[in-house]
Amino acid sequence: MTSGELGDATIVFDLDGTLVDTAPDLVRALNRTLDIEGLPHAKLETARNMVGQGARVLIERASAAAGVSFGTERLDQLTAAFIDFYRADIARESRTFPGVEHALDELAALGAKLAVCTNKRTELSNMLLDALDLSRYFSAIVGADAVTQRKPHPEHYLAAVQRAGGVLRRSVMVGDSAADVGAARAAGAPVMAVTFGYCDGGADKLGADALIFRFSEIAPACRRLLAARP
């Protein structure tokens, strides 16, 4: 590839399970939240597949696994507690997946605009990316609270593309979940799924246009998918 080859492209990334392995810190905060209700702790490997739809859904899924459900008011309170636990030490164990920074450097060198589209809150997303020195790569970081409809609704994806200064027809989504694929599909954009994320049931079953086994494959896949666009 030559420099500037992706100069009109916008590459949109999911955060949890795509750019960063956040599960250890999310599960740590989750288990402190479950302690409030005297519920058993979630195991890391089990809880990985519960991540991706935000703190509230994570708590609902973990408590349901213990045979418990909460009313709206109590769930609001537990979600607030979770956020406090998580915010206090947001990157204690979270790490980028292998090859992330090299891939982002490569995409930037090729001229691509980069954005984050995540069901995490924007404030927490910024905190995490700042802690891992990744914020500098992204022209837009759009959390679930920054839009009316979050992933898998296309509004969320479209907002990320537009706020990065891109255009839909020259954009690609990179994610690990059905919500990521659904948002891109509904917006009419190509999408690739990483195989190392938090998808429950296998990334190969998500219906993405490409499967990514390592970050070194992303730039070539972007070039291929965008070349196929009318």
Determine the pLDDT at residue 9: 97
Residue position matching structure tokens 């990514």? 212
Q: Give the rounded distance of the alpha carbon of 176 from its chain centre.
A: 7
- For the question of residue 14 being annotated catalytic, the response is yes
* pTM summary value: 0.92
pLDDT of the chain, 230 residues: tens digit per residue: 445 789 999 999 999 999 999 999 999 999 999 999 999 999 888 877 777 677 898 999 999 988 999 999 999 999 999 999 999 999 999 999 999 999 999 999 999 999 999 999 999 999 999 999 999 999 999 999 999 999 999 999 999 999 999 999 999 999 999 999 999 999 999 999 999 998 877 899 999 999 999 999 999 999 999 998 87
CA atoms in the 13 A half-sphere facing the CB of 177: 23
Determine the pLDDT at residue 229: 83
Is 23-88 a domain of CATH 1.10.150.240? Answer: yes
* Contact status, residue 181 vs residue 117, Cβ threshold 8 Å: no
Tokens in use for 154? 């296309």
Determine the pLDDT at residue 1: 41
Catalytic residue among 8, 14, 76, 204: 14
Residues in the chain: 230
CA–CA distance, 96 with 222 (Å, rounded to integer): 20
Determine the pLDDT at residue 142: 98
Beta-bridge mates of residue 117: 142
Determine the pLDDT at residue 52: 66
Which architecture characterizes domain 10-22+94-227 according to CATH? 3-Layer(aba) Sandwich (3.40)
| Among candidate residues 10, 14, 9, 11, the one with its CA nearest the CA of residue 150 | 14
Residue 220 DSSP symbol: H
Domain boundaries, the chain: 10-22+94-227, 23-88
Q: Cα dihedral sign for 125, 127, 133, 136?
A: positive
* All residues at 6 or more sequence positions from 40 whose CB lies less than 8 Å from its CB, including other chains: 34, 66
